[in-house]
Amino acid sequence: MEIPRIRVEKIDDICVLICHLIYSLGCPLSKSQLIEITSLEDAVNYFGLMKAIDKANGHLLKAVEIDDEIYYSNTEFGTKAARELGSAVPLSIRDKMFNEAVRVYTRDAMKKKGSSVVVRYIQNSDNTCTIGVRIMDEETAKQKYFIEMHADNPEIADIIKTKIKSDTKAFVKYLDDYFK
């Protein structure tokens, strides 16, 4: 017996999901990144995603060009939609899409910047935060560690993120030493 998949079908719900992903990551996402993220487990239909991007562009999303590619970031209304309506998207979809967004963003950031540590967090509906820390091996460019942590509120999540990003080499050395 196959377990039914949860899909986001309505264009308005897909718009909210896009805004929520961008808000949670705290950075713009390209159309190709959005396609890759939402195609995980066929959570969003490709054509529905294209309609949602077109509908949201200019109102909830603004298109910006970065390195000759179009990226989408939230407008003020997009941020408001992410905060107020994000919890309407099923939690399992939000969690899967966020984890996939962190993976895709990390991979692409490493290609562009050579960064080996990416820290992102998502604010949950109860004001707690889920923090994702992805550490890539600098030699192989493959994932070395992925750590998921929880914080009581966004302020604590910001402190953790800042602390890790302030000395990434020491953080990676700590983990390497700990797991040896």
Q: How confident is the prediction along the chain (180 residues), in pLDDT tens digits per residue?
A: 444 567 888 999 999 999 999 998 888 899 999 999 998 878 899 999 999 999 999 999 999 887 788 999 999 999 999 989 988 888 888 888 888 888 888 777 766 655 578 788 877 778 888 888 888 776 666 778 888 899 999 899 889 988 988 888 888 888 888 888
What is the predicted pLDDT for the residue at 139? 67
CA angle, 113 then 158 then 135, to 5°: 40
Question: In which residue are the tokens 């808000």 written?
Answer: 23
What is the predicted pLDDT for the residue at 159? 92
pTM: 0.66
What is the predicted pLDDT for the residue at 49? 95
Strand order from edge to edge, sheet including 129-136: 117-123, 129-136, 143-151
Task: Tell me the β-bridge partners of 166.
Answer: none
CB atoms within 10 A of CB 116: 19
Q: Among residues 135, 148, 143, which one has the least CA distance to residue 174?
A: 135
Rounded distance between C-alpha atoms, residue 55 and residue 33, angstroms: 18
Q: For the chain, which residues make up each domain, given as ranges?
A: 1-89, 115-180
CATH code of 1-89, in short, is 1.10.10.10
Q: Among residues 130, 136, 175, 118, which one has the least CA distance to residue 157?
A: 130
What is the predicted pLDDT for the residue at 1? 46
Cα 118 off chain centre by = 11
Rounded distance between C-alpha atoms, residue 145 and residue 158, angstroms: 20
